């Protein structure tokens, strides 16, 4: 049997995530609802690198901290500051027999070897989502790993996942989505009273971050209702997908 040190060395060499990530939507919603972006990224690693992660009998996996931080694009300090918050997140699930339950997906962590390694414990239902996502019938989202890991804010991540959905549209149709203010508030989990406030608080800062981090970005346009006199009333926002060959924030 391989020793813990051998497993850690193997993890450091093999810890990779595929270009396209999959994450169960109930996990995604749980972490984003609590504004826990670092926890979401950790779940993405546990899902994306599922074939490279070795769990012991207590469902604990050991990672080399610097390697984990690099793949998540966070600092050691960011990881450390968020681990306690990550342990507070819970989500609901339905098992194969139709039984409903609730679990804390990541419930323990322990730094080892002068903080060079971190041991992370997960629940059994969460491990099934991480390792058997395609078998359980759960709804899930797909996203480009590089585009998603570079983001820092929850609304940017929500928009990035929306752009990934639009990108999956057939090439025979326009890659765009139309939203009313009510639909936008619902998707982003906010409650702004008008389109201009939503633009100032969500669309503009999200577009700025995504432009600097992702190969998929967007443009948007307000569409007015037809009216006879007075200031036109906005009826919807049209969001069009834009592909960037070179990310604006890239140095290369």
Return the closest-CA partner of residue 54 out of 123, 120, 126: 120
Concatenated DSSP letters of 27-52: HHHHHHHTT-HHHHHHHHHHHHTTTT
Q: Is the pLDDT of residue 94 over 80?
A: no
Q: What would the pLDDT profile of 160-180 be if each residue is shown by its tens digit?
A: 989 988 988 888 888 999 999
The structural domains of the chain, ordered by start, are 4-142 (1.10.10.10), 152-243 (1.10.10.10)
Q: Quick one: average pLDDT of 41-61?
A: 89
Q: Is the pLDDT of residue 8 over 60?
A: no
Question: What average pLDDT does the structure give for the chain?
Answer: 86
Return the closest-CA partner of residue 178 out of 243, 244, 234, 139: 234
Least trusted range by pLDDT, from 88-92, 217-221, 227-231? 227-231
Q: Is the pLDDT of residue 184 over 60?
A: yes
Q: Quick one: average pLDDT of 70-78?
A: 93
Dihedral pair phi/psi, residue 79, rounded to 5°: -65, -50
Higher per-residue confidence, 21 vs 224:
224
* Residue 55 DSSP class: B
Distance CA 148, CA 178 (A): 23
Q: Quick one: average pLDDT of 11-21?
A: 70
């Amino acid at each position: 049997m391989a020793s813990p040190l051998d497993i850690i060395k193997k993890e450091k060499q093999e810890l990779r995530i595929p270009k396209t990530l999959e994450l169960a939507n109930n996990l995604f919603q749980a972490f984003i609802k609590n504004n826990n972006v670092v926890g979401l990224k950790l779940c993405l690693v546990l899902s994306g690198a599922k074939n490279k992660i070795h769990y012991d009998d207590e469902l604990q996996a050991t990672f080399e901290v610097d390697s984990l931080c690099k793949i998540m694009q966070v600092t050691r300090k960011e990881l450390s500051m968020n681990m306690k918050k990550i342990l507070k997140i819970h989500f609901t699930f339905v098992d194969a027999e139709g039984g409903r339950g609730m679990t804390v997906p990541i419930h323990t962590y322990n730094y080892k070897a002068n903080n060079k390694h971190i041991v992370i414990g997960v629940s059994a239902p969460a491990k099934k989502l991480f390792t058997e996502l395609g078998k359980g019938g759960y709804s899930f989202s797909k996203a480009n790993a590089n585009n998603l890991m570079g983001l820092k804010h929850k609304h940017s991540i929500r928009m990035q996942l929306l752009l990934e959905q639009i990108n999956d549209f057939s090439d025979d149709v326009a890659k765009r989505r139309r939203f009313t203010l009510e639909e936008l508030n619902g998707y982003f989990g906010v409650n702004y009273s008008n389109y201009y406030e939503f633009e100032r608080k969500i669309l503009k800062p999200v577009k700025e971050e995504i432009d600097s981090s992702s190969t998929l970005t967007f443009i948007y346009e307000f569409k007015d209702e037809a009216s006879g006199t007075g200031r036109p009333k906005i009826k919807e926002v049209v969001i069009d997908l834009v592909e960037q060959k070179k990310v604006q924030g890239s140095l290369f």
